[in-house]
């Protein structure tokens, strides 16, 4: 397996777009969830949303899924973490949402042949306010994605740490919600606000939105506290919690400063292994159609 991964990355680094990779194909038979849009959201800051969006998108792309990563956070961490920077007048998600510029116009390639990026920069900060008076303001991103999403197997939207209009746009556009939870004492603090927002969006904007999974991040299994928090989260979200957990890993923290997903930075690290496992777990839901995401948020949360 290790050898397979290394083999893949060597190809990915050198290969042109679309060149065959030697990832074990049998693990990644194509499924039927074409263009599934997944919002990665949690209004709590620093829980691993962007790290998950980058590395899950990259791991799925390594498995030859066609993936689009959309940066809906004015911090632009998804953009810089994939090695791209805001350059002068280059259009970004801001122009897509506010000026209704076609998403197609802002798409950028990445170092992985099957992964494209819709970049953002600080301009997007203004969008939260500028969206307020606009017609159908909650559906701007959904409308923009409609023309593009069917070309991809997965679209990930990296949300900012708030429940403002950018996150609402992401939730209105998505079929699935992926919630990263940092394994610490206050992991579930504020989760009821997210669940309330989810129900409101389901009621008013997007009845089809489901929780695709809750992901435990920055896990240090050696500590009792982590074990307790993991048990509490599993009790709360039941089968919605991904079996795969993401360990705390120095290499995962370093990779964005080199503008690389972990599998192009250190394929042998525990972090790379974890996100490749997560990609496999997500792809295993393809065969189940709506998969484990078919359940509504837990009552009373």
CB contact at 8 A, 279 and 63: yes
Establish if 124 lies at the interface with ligand ATP (CB under 6 A).
no
Q: Which of 101, 236, 248, 280 binds ligand ATP (CB under 6 A)?
A: 248
Establish if 161 lies at the interface with ligand ATP (CB under 6 A).
yes
Establish if 46 lies at the interface with ligand ATP (CB under 6 A).
yes
Q: State the nearest-atom distance from the C-beta of 47 to ligand ATP, in Å.
A: 4
Query: If DSSP codes are grouped into helix, strand and coil, which group holds residue 122?
Result: helix
From the list 284, 288, 290, the residue with the least C-alpha distance to 63 is: 284
Sequence-distant (≥ 6) Cβ neighbours of residue 89 within 8 angstroms: none
Q: How far apart are CA 176 and CA 193, in angstroms?
A: 18
Establish if 80 lies at the interface with ligand ATP (CB under 6 A).
no
Choices 42-50, 210-218, 228-236, 281-289 (CB under 5 A): range interacting with Mg ion: 42-50
Q: How far apart are CA 265 and CA 259, in angstroms?
A: 9
Query: If DSSP codes are grouped into helix, strand and coil, which group holds residue 145?
Result: helix
CB atoms within 10 A of CB 258: 12
Positions in 59-78 near Mg ion (CB under 5 A): 77
Establish if 187 lies at the interface with ligand ATP (CB under 6 A).
no
Choices 32-40, 43-51, 98-106, 195-203 (CB under 5 A): range interacting with Mg ion: 43-51
CB contact at 8 A, 13 and 111: yes
Choices 41-49, 107-115, 244-252, 268-276 (CB under 5 A): range interacting with Mg ion: 41-49
Q: Which two tokens stand for residue 197?
A: 């927002």
Interface residues with Mg ion (CB under 5 A) are: 49-50, 77
Interface residues with ligand ATP (CB under 6 A) are: 45-51, 73, 75, 77, 161, 217-218, 246, 248-249, 252-253, 256, 271
């Amino acid at each position: 397996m290790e050898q397979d991964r290394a083999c893949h990355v060597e190809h990915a680094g050198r290969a042109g777009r679309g060149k065959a990779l030697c990832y074990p194909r049998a693990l990644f038979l194509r499924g039927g969830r074409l263009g599934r849009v997944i919002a990665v959201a949690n209004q709590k800051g620093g829980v691993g949303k962007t790290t998950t969006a980058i590395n899950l998108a990259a791991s799925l792309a390594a498995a030859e899924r066609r993936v689009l990563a959309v940066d809906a956070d004015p911090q632009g961490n998804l953009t810089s973490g994939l090695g791209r920077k805001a350059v002068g007048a280059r259009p970004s998600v801001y122009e897509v949402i506010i000026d209704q510029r076609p998403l197609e116009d802002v798409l950028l390639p990445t170092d992985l042949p099957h992964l494209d990026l819709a970049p953002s920069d600080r301009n997007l900060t203004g969008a939260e306010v500028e969206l307020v008076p606009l017609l159908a303001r909650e559906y701007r991103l959904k409308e923009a994605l409609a023309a593009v999403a069917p070309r991809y197997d997965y679209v990930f939207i990296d949300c900012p740490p708030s429940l403002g209009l950018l996150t609402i746009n992401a939730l209105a556009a998505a079929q699935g919600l992926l919630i990263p939870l940092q394994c610490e004492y206050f992991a579930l603090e504020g989760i009821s606000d997210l669940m309330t927002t989810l129900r409101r969006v389901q009621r008013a904007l997007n009845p089809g939105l489901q929780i695709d999974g809750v992901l435990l991040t920055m896990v240090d299994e050696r500590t009792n506290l982590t074990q307790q928090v993991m048990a509490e989260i599993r009790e709360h979200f039941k089968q919605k919690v991904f079996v795969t957990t993401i360990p705390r890993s120095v290499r995962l923290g370093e990779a964005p400063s080199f503008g690389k997903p972990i599998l192009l930075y250190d394929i042998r690290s525990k972090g790379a292994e974890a996100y490749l496992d997560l990609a496999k777990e997500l792809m295993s839901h393809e065969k189940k159609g709506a998969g484990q995401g078919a359940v509504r948020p837990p009552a009373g949360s």
